Structure 1
Amino acid sequence: MQSWIALFIEQLKATTWLEWLAVILGVAEVLLARANKVWLYPTGIAATLISLYLLLQVALYAELLLNGYYVVMSVYGWHHWIKKRGQPAVQVAYANKREWIITLLIVFAGWGLLYLMLVNFTQSTVPVWDAWVSSTAWAGMWLLARRKIENWVLLNISNLFAIPLLYHKNLVMFAVLTLILFVVAIFGYYDWRKIIIKEHLISVAS
């Protein structure tokens, strides 16, 4: 146990200012998401751009692709959340059958495709794990962009596997950040559930 603590402290000391900045912005992003605030997107884009550079240095290629996807989905989500032509913003809701089919396709087709890419075109030492973390997060980000409550479930599946993967690659602060995101996502799910219940009661009353 002491050796693990010593290793953690050693890696903590080696954390660069860029990693710290990415962690701070990442925490701010998920707190804004939990609060259902559109500012989560510009904050997340800034954190992701920093992460792209850092992940390239440790050869986590699927995570690299994932973060590129984050940027694209963040721009899409930012646009999707904003009121357009006097219409109300997209409401928090449960995913329907069609959205679940798309979600599962993203998870499993993405996992297979990423695995094949990592095995054939990169020097990845963890292709199965890296691909799974990324494909589940892809699905979670898609659901988040559409303001579906299940995004928290998919993102936490990704987080659960990402924590040991990042620690294995000596990105200790990213692992700590992911642990924080895992906890916040649990609260985020229940906060969004309260929003759905409240909006349903308002709809029934009107």
Structure 2
Amino acid sequence: MHSWIDLFMEQLKATTWPEWLAVILGIAEVLLARANKVWLYPTGIAATLISIFLLLKVALYAESLLNGYYVVMSVYGWYYWVKKQGQPPVKVAYANRREWLITLLIVFVGWGLLYFLLAKFTPSTVPVWDAWISSTAWAGMWLLARRKIENWLLLNISNLFAIPLLYHKNLVMFAMLTLILFVVAIFGYCDWRKIIIKERLTANES
């Protein structure tokens, strides 16, 4: 146990300022998402651009690609939430059957495709793990962009597997950030569920 603490402290001391900045912006992003604020997107874009650089340095190629996907989906989500001027923002809701089908396709087709690419064309030492984390996060980000409550479930599946992988790759601050995101996502799900219940009660009363 003592050796694990020493290793953690060594990794903490070796943490660079870009990693600290990415972590701070990442925490801000998920707190804004939990609060259902559209500012999560510009904050998230800044965090992911820094993360791409850091993840490429440790050969986590699928995670880097995932962060590139985050940037694209953040731009899409930013537009989708705000929509056109004069139109109401998209409401929080549960995913329908079609959206669940798309979600599962993103997870399993993405997992297989990413594994093939990583195993065939990169020197990745963790292709299965890296691909799974990325594909589940892809699906969660797609659901978040559409303001579906299940996004928290998919993102936490990804977080659960990402924590030990990031620690294994000596990205201790990213591992700590992911642990924080895991906890916040639980509260995020509960908060969004309250929003849905409140909107349903308001609709029934009117």
In the aligned structure 1, how far is the partner of 2:194 from the partner of 2:85? 28
Structure 2, gaps ≥5 residues long: none
In the aligned structure 2, how far is the partner of 1:203 from the partner of 1:142? 27
Q: Secondary structure at the match of 1:29?
A: helix
Find the counterpart in structure 1 of residue 82 from structure 2: 82
Find the counterpart in structure 1 of residue 27 from structure 2: 27
Query: Is 1:150 matched with 2:125?
Result: no
| Cα offset, 1:87, TM superposition | 1.6
Moved more, 152-161 or 196-205: 196-205
In the aligned structure 2, how far is the partner of 1:72 from the partner of 1:43? 14
In the aligned structure 2, how far is the partner of 1:89 from the partner of 1:54? 34
Percentage of pairs with the same residue: 84
| Cα offset, 1:205, TM superposition | 0.9
Q: Which amino acid aligns with 1:204?
A: N
Query: Is 1:181 matched with 2:181?
Result: yes
How many residues are treated as equivalent by the alignment?
A: 206
| Cα offset, 1:83, TM superposition | 4.0
Q: Which amino acid aligns with 1:82?
A: V
Query: Is 1:99 matched with 2:106?
Result: no
Q: Which amino acid aligns with 2:57?
A: Q
Using structure 2 for the length normalisation, give the TM-score: 0.99
In the aligned structure 1, how far is the partner of 2:85 from the partner of 2:17? 42
In the aligned structure 1, how far is the partner of 2:120 from the partner of 2:109? 17
Find the counterpart in structure 2 of residue 48 from structure 1: 48
Query: Is 1:10 matched with 2:13?
Result: no
Structure 1, gaps ≥5 residues long: none
| Cα offset, 1:14, TM superposition | 0.1
Q: Secondary structure at the match of 2:31?
A: helix
Find the counterpart in structure 1 of residue 119 from structure 2: 119
Using structure 1 for the length normalisation, give the TM-score: 0.99
Query: Is 1:194 matched with 2:194?
Result: yes
Residue deviations 1:148-193 (CA, integer Å, cap 9, x gap): 0000000000000000000000000000000000000000000000
| Alignment RMSD | 0.5
Residue deviations 1:33-70 (CA, integer Å, cap 9, x gap): 00000000000000000000000100000001000000
| Cα offset, 1:85, TM superposition | 4.0
Q: Which amino acid aligns with 1:98?
A: R
Find the counterpart in structure 1 of residue 57 from structure 2: 57
| Cα offset, 1:84, TM superposition | 1.6
Q: Which amino acid aligns with 1:111?
A: W
Structure 1 ranges of 4+ moved more than 3 A: none
In the aligned structure 1, how far is the partner of 2:188 from the partner of 2:93? 13
